[in-house]
Structure 1
Amino acid sequence: MADPAQDDVFVDDITLPAADGYPLAATLFLPRGAKRNAVLINSATAVHRKLYRGFAGYLAKRGCAVLTYDYRGTGDSRQKSLTGYNQPKSLVGFKASMSDWAAQDITAAVAWMRQRYHGMPFAYVGHSFGGQVLGLLPNNTEISRALLIAAQAGYWKLMTAPERYRVYALLNFIGLPLTRALGYMPGKAGLGMDLPKDAFVQWVSWVMSPRYLFDSKLEALQNFPNYKGALRAQCLSDDPWATRPAVELLCSGFTSIKPEIITVTPADTGVASIGHMGFFRAEHRDTLWRGAAEWIQAGE
């Protein structure tokens, strides 16, 4: 069925080639009128791109060309099984780490949008993991504005209690044993979507490190100072994962700029809760979404 909220928007499911040629499932949202901005929306860990459909359509109505996509091994970018109707292929043996998502998938999505809409202001929207890796991208200099939503250096002790203890137990006592036994992390264990083994194991190593990904030995960390565009990081006060200290720690990596960090409470938007995922609910169309769109388009 058609979504009435998308009536004034062209929506096209496409395939986006990653840097190594791997086919990524993506959706392009285009306004029926003139295009003024290009926006790339980058997903949280284990979150399907369909979560961002409403927000992407809203931005498209305001004149933005918007792309959403799934990282390799997740969502519709997971390979299909040779048997059964439209069944996903097992992730056992599938090689994909979080740093691969950054280097191969997100980097390619940035390049694709920059090439296709080279004459427009280009904004990067990163939710949680999607915002964490902005600084790792070798081509982050192509981005003029970055809006990070609930994006943080996700060290477990920076989460609120008792959530930090639940996460510690889930990752170490359930997630790692299951992943090592099965060869992948099953989403039904508490994450939402199945994850490739390497991605999950790398994520756990970051979550257990006091400075999160900054404690890793990734060469791509050298790209953090290269980002010199505008950056706004949005905290949600009732988000147990992306707390203000965790967001500040992530933003500290962008040493060439002074990121703007803002905190929004549920009361600010007239709702009972927002949390880690709630920004993208349609009830925030006239509050959080409008503010985000105005900030994104302020760079025209």
Structure 2
Amino acid sequence: MTGPGLDDVFSDDITLPAADGYPLAATLFLPRGAKRHAILINSATAVPRRLYRGFAGYLAKRGCAVLTYDYRGTGDSRQQSLTGTHRPKSLVGFKASMSDWAAQDITAAVAWMRERYKTLPFAYVGHSFGGQALGLLPNNSKIERALLIAAQAGYWKLMTAPERYRVYALLNFVGRPLTRILGYMPGKAGLGMDLPKDAFLQWARWVMSPRYLFDDSGLDTLQNFPKYRGALRALCMADAPWATRPAVELLCAGFTSITPEIITVTPAEAGAARIGHMGFFRPEHRDTLWRGAAEWLEAEK
């Protein structure tokens, strides 16, 4: 593995089978020494797993077995179907919703890590949607600690202005019409990565609902939120326009069996000019945000 400070970490690109057998592209990071913890990193919407490579390697260097992966229809997991045939460059006709990502992909990743490293303490890192999905997982009780990073119930009115108006326009005046016409949401329209039609439209419905995914009457997996009883820390970046403090609090309120710890982090506290929605994973935060997160993930109950 190459990269600043990551020369002494093993990494292996593997294929992780989802709950329904769909092949997910994944990368396993391992320390050269003894493994003391197992950690699963779960991506934000429209964010490929490579964003988390530096943080995953940092955790592995500290003695953690770490897995990153791409949800179906995103990143490297959009290349092959169940039969192994290559899909076209576009996602036209590709069936995958955000609830599918949770039920099929993330659930399987949790099970894979728990089975492979059954003797190690197991922690979950969820960035944005990856954090939201924690409450939807039928097997979230197998997770001992969960760190949510800029994870929120993303109702558009809880976003900061003017970003909330940009998102409203993107979803309603660009995204929805374009997705229905093309059969998928092209990343060039404003999200950066192509998204399957059902995933984008479900997300758009949630963003337009005052309680976000909690208003989705058809989302049966909401019943899994109270099943999570492990430690939970949610990091709220003060300058993140989407995951504002009220939005983070709304998501955390769904975990009714525990009392989540919500911490607001300012750029000044991290010695940075800005952090934003994605900035936590920049290598410049190795000795500040990364170290604090790692120490919490590795802590005893």
TM-score range, shorter chain: over 0.9
**Equivalences for 1:83-232 in 2 at 5 Å?**
89-217=89-217, 218-232=219-233
The answer for unaligned runs of 5 or more in structure 1 is none
What letter is aligned with 2:56?
Answer: A
CA contact (8 A) 1:42 1:68 kept: yes
1:99-141 deviation line (CA, Å, top 9, x unaligned):
0000000000000000000001100000000001100000000
CA contact (8 A) 1:78 1:88 kept: no
Question: Normalising to structure 2: TM-score of the pair?
Answer: 0.96
Name the SS for the 1:267 alignment partner: coil
CA contact (8 A) 1:135 1:221 kept: yes
1:141-176 deviation line (CA, Å, top 9, x unaligned):
000000000000000000000000000000100000
Tell me, in whole angstroms, the C-alpha distance in 1 between the residues paired with 2:117 and 2:232.
20
Identical positions, percent: 84
Q: Which residue of 2 aligns with 1:29?
A: 29
C-alpha change, 1:87 and 1:180, in structure 2 (3 Å) is: closer
In the alignment, structure 1 residue 266 sits paired with structure 2 residue 231: no
Tell me, in whole angstroms, the C-alpha distance in 2 between the residues paired with 1:261 and 1:3.
32
1:4-23 deviation line (CA, Å, top 9, x unaligned):
42211000000000000000
What letter is aligned with 1:189?
Answer: A
Q: Which residue of 2 aligns with 1:277?
A: 278
Tell me, in whole angstroms, the C-alpha distance in 2 between the residues paired with 1:153 and 1:41.
19
Tell me, in whole angstroms, the C-alpha distance in 1 between the residues paired with 2:211 and 2:173.
22
* Superposition deviation, residue 3 in structure 1: 2.1
* Superposition deviation, residue 80 in structure 1: 5.0
**Equivalences for 1:30-109 in 2 at 5 Å?**
30-79=30-79, 89-109=89-109
The answer for unaligned runs of 5 or more in structure 2 is none
CA contact (8 A) 1:158 1:245 kept: yes
CA contact (8 A) 2:23 2:80 kept: no
Name the SS for the 2:5 alignment partner: helix
Name the SS for the 2:28 alignment partner: strand
Tell me, in whole angstroms, the C-alpha distance in 1 between the residues paired with 2:278 and 2:26.
20
CA contact (8 A) 1:16 1:26 kept: yes
Tell me, in whole angstroms, the C-alpha distance in 2 between the residues paired with 1:243 and 1:214.
17
| Structure 1 consecutive aligned stretches of length 4 or more whose deviation exceeds 3 Å | 86-89
Name the SS for the 1:6 alignment partner: coil
* Superposition deviation, residue 2 in structure 1: 2.9
Name the SS for the 1:95 alignment partner: coil
* Superposition deviation, residue 89 in structure 1: 3.5
* Superposition deviation, residue 299 in structure 1: 2.7
CA contact (8 A) 1:80 1:88 kept: no
Tell me, in whole angstroms, the C-alpha distance in 2 between the residues paired with 1:235 and 1:25.
29
Tell me, in whole angstroms, the C-alpha distance in 2 between the residues paired with 1:279 and 1:87.
33
CA contact (8 A) 1:153 1:213 kept: yes
CA contact (8 A) 1:80 1:89 kept: no
Question: How many residues align structurally?
Answer: 296
CA RMSD of aligned residues (A): 1.3
CA contact (8 A) 2:78 2:87 kept: no
Tell me, in whole angstroms, the C-alpha distance in 2 between the residues paired with 1:287 and 1:147.
16
